[in-house]
Amino acid sequence: MIGSIIMKSKKSKAFSLIELMVAMMVMGASLAGVLMLFSKGSVFIVQIESNDMVIGMLEEQVELIRQTHFDDIITNFFPTSTFNSTGFIQLDNPVGQITVDYPFGSTAPNDLIIRVTVTLSWDSDSGRTLSKSLVTYVTSGGMSS
């Protein structure tokens, strides 16, 4: 009887091969989940960086348009035109477009306000076409009050 108690206690201290395999599978699945989170996180960071870059380019283009005389904006950009920037080299198939319209429906040349929409579209790494736009309003009187 004493011998059988000693045998049982020795057996309970050791792991069986099946227990070790189950433990390794659980650890492997956990590690795979953590690695997948890191992978998705790095993709998300790249998307944020490209969005920040695109917004910066759009803001730069809007400022160039704001510095242009009102009549020249209508002459050069109405109704649509395209633009390029050196920063686009980092994007796949970038297309920049400027759309000028009259927000109140009139097309008379003496209107006092125009809406300028600057849009940039590009292909993402996943193959989808992404797009960002900024809108500004320009008055014939300029920015002065």
> Tokens 């849009």 identify what position?
119
State both tokens at 91. Answer: 């994007």
- The answer as to whether 144 is a domain residue is no
Q: Cβ(51)–Cβ(132) under 8 Å?
A: yes
pLDDT tens digit sequence for 58-114? 898 888 888 888 888 888 888 888 887 666 667 888 888 999 988 877 666 557 888
pLDDT tens digit sequence for 18-57? 988 999 999 999 999 898 988 888 878 877 888 888 898 8
pLDDT (mean) for 118-128: 86
What pLDDT is attached to residue 17? 87
Cα–Cα distance list, 61 to 43, 47, 106, 120, 136 (Å) = 27, 21, 25, 10, 11
Q: What are phi and psi of 68, to 5 degrees?
A: -85, 145
Structural domain total, the chain: 1
- The answer as to whether 102 is a domain residue is yes
From CA 141, how far away is CA 111, in angstroms rounded?
A: 11
pLDDT band at 119 (very low <50, low <70, confident <90, very high): very high
What 3-state class would DSSP assign to 39? helix
Range of the domain at 38: 2-139
What pLDDT is attached to residue 30? 92
How many helices and strands, by DSSP H and E, does the chain display?
3, 4
Q: What are phi and psi of 64, to 5 degrees?
A: -65, -40
